[in-house]
Amino acid sequence: MAHEFESHGESSPAGDPDADYDYRNDTTNRPALVADLEELVDGDVRFDTYTRELFATDASAYKELPIGVVSPVSTDDVVAVMEYCDDNEIPVLPRGGGTSLAGQAVNEAVVLDFKRYMDEFLEIDPEAGVARAQSGITIARLNNHLAPHDLKFAPDPAWGDKSVLGGAIGNNTTGAHSLQYGKTDAYIEECEVVLSDGTQTTFGWVDVEDLHDRATEARDRGSTIEAQVYAEVGRLLHEEAEEIEERYPDLKRNVSGYNLDMLVENARERGEINMGRLMAGSEGTLAIVTEATVSLEPVPEETALVMLTYDGVLPAMRDVAPILEHDPSAVEVMDDVFLELARDNAEFSELVSTLPEGTDSTLLVEFYADSVAEGKQKIANLLADRLPGYEAAVSPDEAGTVTSDETHAVDALEAYDDDRQAKFWKMRKAGLPILLSNTGDDKHWPFVEDTAVPPEKLPEYISDLQDLFDEHDTFAAYYAHAGPGVLHIRPLLNLKSEAGHETMYAISDAMTDLVIEYGGSVSGEHGDGRSRTEWNKKLYGEQLWNTFRDLKSAFDPNWLLNPGNVCGDHDSTANLRYDPSYTFDADFDPVLNWDNENGFQGMVELCHGCAGCTGHQETTGGVMCPTYRAADEEITSTRGRANLLRNAMSGDLPDDVFDEEFITEVMDLCIGCKGCKNDCPSGVDMAKMKAEVVHEYHQREGISLRDRIFANVESLLSLGSAFAPISNWAMQVPGSGWVMEKTAGIARERDLPAFHRTTFEDLMANRDGSTVSLTEANRKALVVPDPYTNYSHPHIGRAAVEVLEAAGVHVQVPDDVSDSGRPAFSKSMLDHARDTASGNVEALAPQIRDGWDVVTIEPSDAVMYQYDYLDLLSGEDAELVASNTYGVLEYVDRFGLDENIDFGEPTETLTYHGHCHQKSVRKDHHAVGVLRRAGYDVDVLDSGCCGMAGSFGYETEHLSMSRAIGDILADQVRDSTGSQVVAPGASCRSQLGSYEFDDGEPPHPIEMVAGAL
């Protein structure tokens, strides 16, 4: 990689290694700690400012700066770190994906980052139904390994592609299907752990009668802490079992406190306990899990889904208990606040619009079945019971009749095919991002979001909550796991105000009282962390609170493991990311249009840390975030950049946001793919923020020669075209690449585009007008060529014209429009881009009013006209151009123009790679539709950015990153079924051409459509 992320002024020579280390206050002796740990471990040791800030937040409302971060590569590394930290009384925090919602993944400690390296799948025994893996493996990748055996790790958190196995154990994770599968604890067979003194051991099944002997054996081996643990567990089973059975809530979903109820239940029913299951829900406070053996479940043969609609959330809640009698696999609720937000979301508005008028809330009910017919039968039985007037397609005896219960559904939408079911589930799982797309100071915070009560108590509980929120002049959305009684409830608060802090505490206190009154728990899913730890004493009582602390002390005598959590001293309103002392100083006036609440600041503060940008690192789907996929570095993720940008502008970083180091280390590797605009759950637009920040940097520090060259690439290509073929020969002269690299920073390994003396504009000017007369035309289009099409790929422009004219379109090329401004925009030269955009709008708007459409060949140009112009310009003319500009195949598909074309019978199968900018605005499907109607079989890659990103891949310092990203795409192409790869983007074709799939650059899809005429 061209970038290094280890240093920020804290790598000076070590101090006295024997000196006591004051980790809380020391700023001069930290290098001694770093040097000692680097000597001890093979993994990464990073205590620099940027890394510490990157790991100071998770997906919660909290922020706590760690001492430093170690990414171990083995259990031996973990042992070494723990032994050293125990000797020096330094806290340690094991961390996975950083997706925690209660703040348990942030602490003033040495963070052990397991996701970086310790993420291996180790083995599977399909017959026994068990598998073993390291704790840093994501749940999604674990299940990918299990899928060939039709098995799965059953707990299914919504963020399973971001959260890891160790985190699932630490949090006792579950998900939408807990009605069937329960929590993670039920699947732990064995855990390899490192204790707080560095002892490595394995916890699994042990007879209760053998606990004393285990303690003795451990003591004989010199393992004092292990001996204490077995002795304390034996004691609490003997002395505390009655109190545990009495005080623990009778729920499927309780993850507050330590997992003592399962220990007591196993001891009573089996005469043995699983010590590994004590790790479940312990949040890394008892021991560090490095590997785990887990039991597996078969993947269900079929699923059937129905969305029941209601005229209010309370009627929906009253219907939950009767629905549970039908043994569903999941029951999920969405209330009116949620549905209203979904209605305004482009992806889900169509689905919400199909709901009956007056729908206020819905219940999404799923059944597992052995066949489609059985699934339909189960839904028929449910609807006959809960939907008045429903006439089942089965006999009345099988379907049953509507009960006398007062509550029932108003209507129902059924889903049996995979695509429709996936759309239903996607809308439900989009609850968090939909809620968190708010850029104002009032946000939906997760401090009480997963309280749990018995399902039959939900109506009364929700009614009381609504009264509580009314009392505090706020409201919350209700969604998620109604079946087991766990609702995601996020009150709307401004934590930047004193009143917001006071309300947060008051609501937490009152809700704790309510869940106790209804026999519930303060956490049914997301753990104690900083949000709920202080309420455990009220939930469990003084005796069990002390039992928790005794158990913690047995495992961790010095309280070094993730201190403060579960039974510690956390204050739920301390160490918040935002508080009344928070300030934001951008120190410049943004020049782009920010039409969201709070403008540029609102976008900078939008990231809530869910890690959606890191979930694709081990998979290939989606666009975001290409540099993170290639580098696997937090600083290259959207979350990492957003965190550091916010911290710089709020004064938490010593670096100014416009320091060269910040620009180079944080912003430079954002390649402007725009993937986050669509893929980020909250819509964090990092590409746009980078454009603003780097533009201001240019204003202060100037613009490099290379940036000016690439921003004015049309002039460069025009000159090369004018001197072709001499200019092409010059690029082949030995040593020319070296000269380009030394003078302009353009990588010698890259081949620059060849120039054509006859441009696309020349071709159009030399012909005798459009082949389709204006009087006979279906539409009339101004085809605006990008510089690469015009000077280097005129044949692509010619193919576009052939297709359009075959479709009955009258085509012209405007002579008063320059490039779109994309090259300048991509280099953050926003004044230049605005001038270009203004000139183009001035030229095109009158022609659009005269009935002309604007059509581009390059996808990034289309998006520039359609979206980026509205960031640069205001006014009716800019909006007119934006709404009447199309990519060429978008144009054909949008207006059904290919219905006018007679195609031949192509025999090729195509592999289609869409442009990342198209994907960011959900328009990459248009080309696929046209290609298929033209007769091609098309294998559509769920691919990300190609890695060229305009000029990025040509730049010397970015070459290795560009190729690393390109390798991911190349592997997808190799695994595809198409015989010919096609890509609409010039950068994409250039990158793919370097892999020599088709003896050069692959064609633009418009060429394949032209070839099928």
How confident is the model over 45-90, as pLDDT tens digits? 999 999 999 999 999 999 999 999 999 999 999 999 999 999 999 9
pLDDT confidence of 998, banded at 50, 70, 90? low
pLDDT confidence of 406, banded at 50, 70, 90? low
Q: Which tens digits make up the pLDDT trace of 857-901?
A: 999 999 999 999 999 999 999 999 999 999 999 999 999 999 989
Q: Which tens digits make up the pLDDT trace of 492-537?
A: 999 999 999 999 999 999 999 999 999 999 999 999 999 999 999 9
- 420 has a pLDDT exceeding 50: yes
For the segment 270-298, the average pLDDT, to the nearest whole number, is 97
- 252 has a pLDDT exceeding 90: no
Question: CA 510 to CA 469: how far, in whole Å?
Answer: 10
- 396 has a pLDDT exceeding 90: no
Q: Which of 173-187, 281-295, 323-337, 996-1010 has the lowest mean pLDDT?
A: 996-1010
Tokens representing residue 547 in the block: 């039992």
Given this model, what pLDDT does residue 693 score? 96
Q: How far is CA 726 from the centre of its chain?
A: 49
Given this model, what pLDDT does residue 729 score? 84
Q: Which residue, 665, 337, 691, is CA-closest to 491?
A: 337
Given this model, what pLDDT does residue 431 score? 64
Q: Which tens digits make up the pLDDT trace of 958-981?
A: 999 999 999 999 999 999 998 999
Given this model, what pLDDT does residue 7 score? 33
Given this model, what pLDDT does residue 16 score? 37
Q: Which residue, 403, 420, 402, 410, is CA-closest to 366?
A: 420
Q: Which of 611-615, 664-668, 806-810 has the lowest mean pLDDT?
A: 611-615
Q: Which tens digits make up the pLDDT trace of 446-473?
A: 999 999 999 999 999 999 999 999 999 9
* Structure-token match 């005794």, residue found: 550
Q: Which of 7-16, 108-117, 858-867, 929-938 has the lowest mean pLDDT?
A: 7-16
pLDDT confidence of 393, banded at 50, 70, 90? very low
Q: Which tens digits make up the pLDDT trace of 145-202?
A: 999 999 999 999 887 888 999 999 999 999 999 999 999 999 999 999 999 999 999 9
pLDDT confidence of 329, banded at 50, 70, 90? very high
For the segment 246-252, the average pLDDT, to the nearest whole number, is 93
Q: Which tens digits make up the pLDDT trace of 209-233?
A: 999 999 999 999 888 999 999 999 9
pLDDT confidence of 815, banded at 50, 70, 90? confident
Question: CA 385 to CA 399: how far, in whole Å?
Answer: 8
Q: What is the largest CA-CA distance in the chain?
A: 98
Q: Which tens digits make up the pLDDT trace of 754-764?
A: 888 999 999 99
pLDDT confidence of 15, banded at 50, 70, 90? very low
pLDDT confidence of 2, banded at 50, 70, 90? very low
Rounded to 10 deg, the angle between the 458-471 and 498-517 helix axes is 160
Given this model, what pLDDT does residue 349 score? 76
Given this model, what pLDDT does residue 455 score? 95
Question: CA 903 to CA 1009: how far, in whole Å?
Answer: 9
- 942 has a pLDDT exceeding 80: yes
- 1004 has a pLDDT exceeding 60: yes
Helices (H), 200-346: 211-220, 224-239, 241-247, 260-270, 313-324, 336-343
How do beta strands 110-113 and 68-71 pair? parallel
- Per the CB < 8 A criterion, the answer to whether 414 and 390 are in contact is no
For the segment 724-752, the average pLDDT, to the nearest whole number, is 85
Given this model, what pLDDT does residue 961 score? 95
Amino acid at 133: A
For the segment 234-261, the average pLDDT, to the nearest whole number, is 95
* Structure-token match 């081990």, residue found: 618
Given this model, what pLDDT does residue 620 score? 54
Given this model, what pLDDT does residue 3 score? 36
Q: Which tens digits make up the pLDDT trace of 589-648?
A: 999 999 999 999 999 999 988 888 886 545 557 888 899 999 989 999 999 999 999 999
Average pLDDT value over all residues in the chain: 91
- 6 has a pLDDT exceeding 60: no
- Per the CB < 8 A criterion, the answer to whether 487 and 478 are in contact is yes
Question: CA 463 to CA 630: how far, in whole Å?
Answer: 49
Q: Which tens digits make up the pLDDT trace of 820-842?
A: 999 999 999 999 999 999 999 99
For the segment 353-372, the average pLDDT, to the nearest whole number, is 92
Question: CA 867 to CA 687: how far, in whole Å?
Answer: 13
For the segment 925-948, the average pLDDT, to the nearest whole number, is 95
- Per the CB < 8 A criterion, the answer to whether 643 and 54 are in contact is yes
Helix %, strand %, coil % of the chain (to 5): 45, 15, 40
| Total residue length of the chain | 1013
Given this model, what pLDDT does residue 681 score? 79
Given this model, what pLDDT does residue 725 score? 87
